Structure 1
Amino acid sequence: MRPVDLDRWRVGDASVDALTREIRMPGARRPVRVTPKALAVLRVLAAQPGQVVTRRALLDEVWPETLPTDDVLTQAVTQLRKAFGSGAGGAEEGRAYIETIAKSGYRLLREVEALAPDAGEDVPQTTSTATADTAAAAGTTAEPPTPENTTPAVTPLPAADGANPGGARAQGWRAATIVAICVLLAAVGVLSWSLVRDDDGGADARTGVEASRLITSSLGFKGSPSLSPDGSQVAYAAASSGPAGSVIMVQPTRNAPARVLARAGAARGGVVTDSIPRWSPDGRDIAFLRRLDGNACAVMVADVRGGDVREVARCDGARTVSFDWTADGSGLLFGTMDGDFAAPGVRVLDLRTGAWQPLAYDHIPGAIDHAPRVSPDGRWILFARNPQLGDLWRVPVAGGRAEQLTTLNTELRGWAWASAGRVVFGRRVDSEVRLYALDPASGAISDLGFDDAQAPSMVAANGALAFVRRNLRFGLFRVAVDPSGAIHKQRLFASNGRDNTPAVSPDGSRLAFGSDRAGPYELWLAKLGAEPGEPTPVPGITPIGSHAPTWSADGRHLLVAGVADAVERGATTLYEVDAGTAAVRALAVPVRNPVQALRLDARQLVVAAQVGDGPLQLVLLAADGRGWRQVRALEDVSQFRHDPVSGRILFTRLSGDGLWEASTDLRPGSVRQVDPHHPRRVHYRTWSPSVAGAIDYVVSTPECRTQLNRLGGAGGSRQLCLSVGRRAATSGFSSSTRDGTLYLSMVIDDGMEIGFTHLPQPRPSSTLGIVKSLTVKGKPVS
């Protein structure tokens, strides 16, 4: 039998599991799961390694009785290269596995061999599944049976003549003691096993990523999951069956049918959007946000069993609303709110009296303190300050000094309290959002291993975790608008990954962008024309993904911020790339964590970088014989762009909506606001300088998923719908200042489901700890 006919086989250094469709590379954080068609392509190539297989042969074998285009095969090979490039060798190794033969087909360049049925990556073959699972739940490493750790069979020795009877009695007592200890250890083992079982008494001790599953399977939008206090049910927002809007769904955390919590009255009319459900501490009510058409907005509370729905607060005109229940369920805790009922910081609404009480703490003017969450012990309020580019903070429930918990200065996508005072949060990393765990006591942050996961909701008592699993695929588009307003849209490059953060060169001849199309997230370059050239990666850089690269005025170089370790992240470095040769060099600039930069000339740079543990500032650097030195700084900047028409720096701020400008030397007297309304501070990347001094904004409306608002300029302002059903990425776009052509990333596929699992719980360290665990799980204590 050929190796590829088995369930598990090896290709070079990679192990392939055909049953799970997973490919694991040495040094990879986790295996990569490929599509059935991609695996089928690999089977065909692996059946004849080293030989060229034509494209026609692959299409006939993998897609029989259909008429597929070459794109499906290209995407399958790209996905395989991405999997082979997920290890320590990176994307370059992935491309080295499968060779493209021009105008012919593909060839696998690695040997293929069978794997033993029980062989696994980094796991001894003799380790049983039960042992490994139990060890993982206990936070230990299971050892395989070996002569050193396996108890040998013991043959009793006969007693020597004249043995001491007292010695025999002592041996008997010792034997009895050993038996008693063994019984006690066995009892503790059984008790420990019960503590890691599912709440329903199931025998599966797996937790975390291993045990995660999707509990929804319907089409359409799903978001903002909220678990019931015992973790047995989840409420979430989902697209309604009508033409638009959304409803709150409630369903068990097993794969069971969901039901609508509360429908809006038909008499009100219009499009109703219900979102961000929050379960009350006693499990009887769910608070949620209801929007009606334009500015109408209210916070509602509904009985979980159905029937009673009441309005508890108005939020008309607000675009930023967040809330959660107080620890005792008597009120709602609100974050920063704008609109007609604006409030700058955290405050509490008493549901019995309707009275508002601001929390007395050191709120920073202009900051958005978002989505407050009360800790399980009732001592702390967790929130994100400026979640679009900020950090996690906590403040005592009674008020006082707020404490910064992280110094990431990153895009945060949901946060929740876990057990033992820990926090689980979603963080945008490159082209995806991942879940992380934070220990506030030590400041340690660890990746939980969840791909494409965000918006966590947790039950700290039992480790139940619900989250949104969003599997996005982005493609790059070129959109030209002629003087009559006609739109000409073209998909630029085939890709099975996520292409984002495009930046077009000043002369319009090249495009730089970030993508995971070949595995790890990389910087890519492509030549533009009537028929764009194939993109090529720039080796040695892992772009940060939050800010696009910036071209020099002559279009020969670009500056990009990146990280040295794509897995652990860490401090950022500023790199300069030669667009012609793809040569890379690091610039030793005297600023912390640069995210964006512009070269004004050979001796001057403008850099956006972090100030201490706080927000970004814009810094002018000048070079002398000793290196770079800071000349001037401009505070409170989230993103900047250079407008070659006016020769000025345009920038946005986290402290407020709008657009500002400054001279390239950042003189304080040159700073002025040019637009007080656009863009919103939470959408600080969705704008770009355009042709003839205009500013382009890309927004999303219920009627048009991707809408262009071009304001100012010689051609006058205009509003155009670029796509009714396809949404643009929020990571930004680039407009050509020569002719106004847009280069933007748009959603190709968007799968959203609700996932569920249990996170491992800290082990009880004492009998009292075990008793407490039993009490939390509702078990009798004997």
Structure 2
Amino acid sequence: MLQQLPSQRVRVGDSVVDVAAREILPASAAVGDAPHRISLKAIDLLLVLIGHAGKVVSRETLLETVWPDTLPGDDVVTQAVAQLRKAFGSDEPYIETIAKHGYRLLAPVQWLDLAAQDVPVAVAAAPVETPSRPMLKLVGTVAALSALAFALWLAIGADRERAQKVAGGSGDPAPPFLKITSAPGMEFAPSLSPDGSQVAYSAYVDENGVGRTSLMMQTTAPVEPRQLTHPVGGEHDAMSAWSPDGRQIAFYRVRRGGNGVSCHLMLMASAGGEPHTVASCDGDRLRKFSWHPDGKQLVFGASNAGQTGVNAIELFDLASGSARKLDYTHAASDIDLAPVFSPDGRWIAFQRNVSRGDLWLMPAAGGQPERLTRIESNLFGLAWSPDGRSIIFSAYRGQEASLLRLDVQSRRITELGIGNARFPNVALKDPSVVFVIEDAPTSLYRVRIPARGTAAAPPEVVFPSSGTELLPSVAPDGNQIVFVSDRTGDVRLWWGEIGRASSLRPIENFVPFPRHPAAWSADGKTVLMIGADGDNEALYEITPATGAVQKLALPEGRPTYGAYGAEPGQLLVVADRGAGRLGLTLYQRRGLLLQALASLDDVALARFDPQERRVVFIRNASWGLWQAGLDLQGPRLIDDLHADPGGALPRIVPSAGFYLQSRRLVTSAEGNWMVGAGGDCNMRWIAVNAPAGSRSGPCLDPRGGELTGVSFDAGSGWLYYSYSTQDDSDIGWAQLPETAEQTAEPGQR
């Protein structure tokens, strides 16, 4: 049954579905209209319905096929169907709900772009019937079986050889991919062997509350891995990288415990054995690295924790164990991350800056870097193609991170058609790529801050949902809340009254960019948030009670965050200052016009502190919490955010860059706090600028997980937060498609 689809495009009713791109162009679309992008699970479900067009498919069958080996809520099927219906956008029903049974595809189906020898397939709607589950698996035409098989393949994987044939023979720029790991928990940081036959990656295991991370090894197929390293409890092996000859693997080993943090760069034989230490490192600021093609050097990027002196690229000589900073043009506020040598060793490609990141290129010996892209987006890793002509990278496209290809010569960027994919790694001598697929559902919780010396009560779910809920922001009155959610399929900003789920509703005509939470006005009537504006982003003011949305025209820069200032009509806006460098501007609003009053460079997020009547902010290239006057004058560090005031390690938010610091910052009329993190508790209530001995506060949530946003209601003492307790991520693999340059005849190049 595991066959390739008859085509990558299929007509359903009067709509056209691009399976690889996960896009539906409805019949009602006008010329130039963009197609509707749907989720991976929605396209899987559609393929199952296509495979049984005109037949009833039970909810149980859909759950078993599209969500195998998981325990999803029953409403995930409802959400996927709702997303499909919205994308088709027809007055005529395409998908019929059969009460207490399942769903039936009513619209006729025809595969498009078939080869001349292929027989066109058109499946018309049939009378309602409910076959048994064994019959559901067998009924249908060859095309129907192929469609169902492809959905199963996307869900549970297939063998590598089959994927290579599909990728190499389709001619489509969007390659299919295999999910080659499926164990519970986290598999991350993959690295391909030079020939592309094997992949090393990290896998996290939590046993009896003591976690450890091991390096695993397997072929690039969904097979059982073997454990490569054997760390003890509390040790974590991560960021593996194969040597160019395939004989060695370099990686970090970090140990966190009662004596603080220790970190070492390790080297071991790829065939296995005991690793040995190459150099010491700072476990609170792991720096991504890669090998020089000669196997004698490593190149290290900056720390995204914004530490002075470690925001530039360095070279490390393995023979001598010495490091030196590369001599190249670099501003003090620039953060240069994830450097990678080109396959011939002549160039270094890297990411410059974070929220407004771009790809840059410079000679391997240093000098003047050249900017390759102008997308100014969040980036998630990069890698060279084996021929050195292009760079594969991950960046936000719409509401999710996707794999992209940059042609270095022409600067042209194309999509590879693989969404929800991050941190790509390409084999040195084989056009194949591995990447991380993240699937960690996030929910909204709240917990009341306990009195000093007492334990916190168990956290409460705010609004139960099977979707992902992010970035809560509670109003000053403590009764309203806005947050980002995909509970109906599309990512939207939602508003509701706390304690009354029936009040929830999405804000129409606004697509949020989920980087930072919305900021409320002092009177609780409006919020500011960054949202999509075509291919760009803009600052919007929203009145949740009425749903009114107004775009604010900024005089300069693309914004990343906006908040209200100390006086009526004042706004604090963080925006791009060029080349991805962020800065803060204080504006006075006069009608629809914004007049700049003051500005401050190197600011990632800023808020008005009502208790101290000041502006507090977080910088890109300097760790800690800073302050300035209401006129943005006199900036100074007020807390270095270490567990012990004065700079002693560990930090209270280990390994976090400024964007994670900002998601853990609480500013209110009662004071400022950080929701700290550490080995024993990932959510600890910590006062900012506290004297020695009184820094640490109570643990608010003992569960492990990822915190993605906090908001505090000082009146009631409730802390609202979005939290994922399932650190689920898997490794995907794909064969890179050939480019037009590669397939051209010699005389055409």
The TM-score normalised by the length of structure 1 is 0.74
What displacement does 1:635 show?
Answer: 1.0
CA distance in 1, matches of 2:524, 2:684: 29
What is the CA–CA distance in structure 2 between the aligned matches of 1:302 and 1:556, rounded to whole Å?
A: 59
2:251 corresponds to: 288
Query: What is the match of residue 720 of structure 1?
Result: 698
Distance 2:722 2:94 in 1: 29
Give the aligned partner of residue 677 of structure 1: 641
Structure-1 residue corresponding to 2:83 = 82
Determine the C-alpha separation between the residues in 2 that align with 1:291 and 1:204. 40
Q: Indicate the residue corresponding to 2:218 in structure 1.
A: 251
In structure 2, the residue matched to 1:688 is: 665
Q: Distance in 1 between matches of 2:539 and 2:199?
A: 44
Note closer, same or farther for the CA distance 1:129–1:346 as it changes in structure 2 (3 Å cut).
farther
> How far apart in 2 are the matches of 1:594 and 1:620?
13
C-alpha distance 299-750 of structure 1, shift in aligned 2 (>3 A): closer
Task: Give the counterpart letter for 1:413 in structure 2.
Answer: F
Q: Say whether 1:562 aligns with 2:562.
A: no
Of the three residues 233, 236, 254, the one matched with 1:273 is 236
Alpha-carbon spacing, 1:701–1:432, altered in 2? closer, same or farther (3 Å): farther
2:424 maps to 1:456: yes
**Out of 524, 534, 545, which is 2:494 matched to?**
524
Alignment of 1:574 onto 2:539: yes
Tell whether the 8 Å contact from 1:316 to 1:339 is kept in structure 2 after alignment. no
Identity %, equivalent residues: 31
Cα distance in 1, alignment partners of residues 227 and 104 from structure 2 = 54
SS in 1 for 2:728: strand
User: How far apart are the structure 2 equivalents of 1:99 and 1:673?
Assistant: 61
**Which of 721, 726, 738 lines up with 1:744 in the alignment?**
721
Which of 1 and 2 has greater Rg? 1
Letter in 1 for 2:403: L
For residues 267-290 of structure 1, the C-alpha deviation after alignment (integer angstroms, 9 at most, x for no partner) is: xx6522111000111111111111
In structure 2, how many angstroms separate the alpha carbons of the residues matched to 1:75 and 1:199?
Answer: 28
* 1:28 corresponds to 2:36: yes
1:226 corresponding residue in structure 2: 191
Report the alpha carbon displacement of residue 537 of structure 1 after superposing the two structures with TM.
0.9
Structure 1 residues 439 and 765 mapped into 2: Cα distance closer, same or farther (>3 Å)?
A: closer
Paired AA for residue 436 in structure 1: L
Q: Is 1:587 paired with 2:552?
A: yes
Q: CA deviation at 1:486?
A: 2.6
Name the structure 2 match of 1:447: 415
Equivalent residue in structure 1 for 2:607, among 641, 666, 669: 641
- Matched to 1:673, the amino acid is L
- Structure 1 position 357, deviation (Å): 3.2
Amino acid at match of 1:82: Q
1: CA distance, partners of 2:162 / 2:10: 33
SS in 2 for 1:448: strand
TM-superposed CA distance for 1:582, in Å, is: 0.5
Counterpart CA distance in 2 for 1:380 and 1:129 is 47
- 2:492 is the counterpart of 1:515: no
1:365 is aligned, of 309, 332, 336, to 332
- Say whether 1:609 aligns with 2:572: no
The structure that is helix-richer by fraction is 1
C-alpha contact (below 8 Å) 1:696/1:735 kept by paired residues: no
Aligned AA (1:459): A
The one-letter code matched in structure 2 to 1:538 is I
| Within-5 A mapping of 1:404-483 | 404-418=371-385, 419-428=387-396, 432-459=400-427, 461-483=429-451
1:673/1:23 Cα in 2 relative to 1: closer, same or farther (>3 Å)? closer
Question: How far apart, in 2, do the equivalents of 1:589 and 1:59 lie?
Answer: 51
Residues 724-781 of structure 1, C-alpha deviation per residue, up to 9 Å, x if partnerless? 3341333x221123333111111154431111111112244666699x9xxxxxxxxx
- Tell me the amino acid that sits aligned with residue 737 of structure 1: A
Q: What's the offset of the Cα at 1:366?
A: 4.8
- Partner Cα distance (1:458, 1:420) in 2: 11
Offset, 1:380: 1.0
How far apart, CA to CA, are the structure 2 residues paired with 1:317 and 1:59?
Answer: 46
Letter in 2 for 1:709: I
User: What is the Cα deviation at residue 696 of structure 1?
Assistant: 2.9
Could you say if the C-alpha distance between residues 433 and 77 of structure 1 is closer, same or farther in structure 2, counting changes exceeding 3 Å? same
Q: Pick from 509, 522, 530 the counterpart of residue 553 of structure 1.
A: 522
The answer to whether 1:539 aligns with 2:516 is no
Q: Tell me which amino acid in the other structure corresponds to 1:546.
A: R
Show CA shifts across 1:339-361 (max 9, x none).
99975522222222223333111
- In structure 2, the partner of 1:500 is 470
Change (3 A) 1:298 1:564: same
Query: Residue 453 of structure 1: CA displacement?
Result: 0.8
* TM-score using structure 2 length: 0.77
Structure 1 distance, partners of 2:180, 2:119, is 25
Which residue does 2:124 correspond to in 1? none
Cα deviation 1:274-317 (Å, max 9, x = unaligned): 11000111111111111123321111111111235322111145
1:38 and 1:442, CA in 2 relative to 1: closer, same or farther beyond 3 A? closer
Higher RCO, 1 vs 2 (CA within 8 Å, ≥6 residues apart): 2
When residues 301 and 340 of structure 1 are mapped into structure 2, their CA distance, relative to the original with a 3 A threshold, is farther
Corresponding residue pairs, total: 659
* Structure 1 SS opposite 2:459: strand
Structure 1 residue 262 corresponds to structure 2 residue 263: no
Q: State the distance in 1 between where 2:198 and 2:675 align.
A: 38
CA RMSD of aligned residues (A): 4.4
Contact 1:431 1:515 in 2 (8 A): no
Following superposition, the deviation at residue 391 of structure 1 comes to: 2.8
Equivalent residue of 1:548, what SS? coil
Output aligned runs, 1:372-391, within 5 Å.
372-387=339-354, 390-391=357-358
Contact 2:706 2:725 in 1 (8 A): no
- Once residues 129 and 365 of structure 1 are traced to their aligned partners in structure 2, the CA distance between those partners, rounded to angstroms, is 61
What stretches of structure 2 of length at least 5 have no aligned partner? 1-8, 27-34, 65-71, 121-159, 643-652
Describe the shift of the 1:233–1:310 C-alpha distance in structure 2 as closer, same or farther (beyond 3 A). same
- Quote how far apart the aligned CAs of 1:425 are: 1.5
What residue in structure 2 maps to residue 113 of structure 1? 106
Aligned in 2, Cα 1:388/1:725: closer, same or farther, shift over 3 Å? farther
1:622 aligns with 588
Shift in Å, 1:320: 2.8
Measured in 2, the distance between the counterparts of 1:260 and 1:58 equals 38
Give the equivalent residue in structure 2 for 1:350: 317
Are the structure 2 counterparts of residues 685 and 450 from structure 1 closer, same or farther at C-alpha, using a change threshold of 3 Å?
Answer: farther
1:29 deviates by: 3.7
**Matches of 2:49 and 2:169 in 1, distance apart?**
36
SS, match of residue 686 in structure 2: strand
1:734 equivalent in structure 2 = 711
**Does the CA-based 8 Å contact 2:181-2:730 persist in structure 1?**
yes
What secondary structure sits across from 2:83 in the alignment?
helix
- 2-structure distance, mates of 1:60, 1:200: 29
Instruction: Note the residue ranges of structure 1 that are not aligned, 5 or more in a row.
Output: 1-7, 49-56, 64-70, 132-195, 773-782
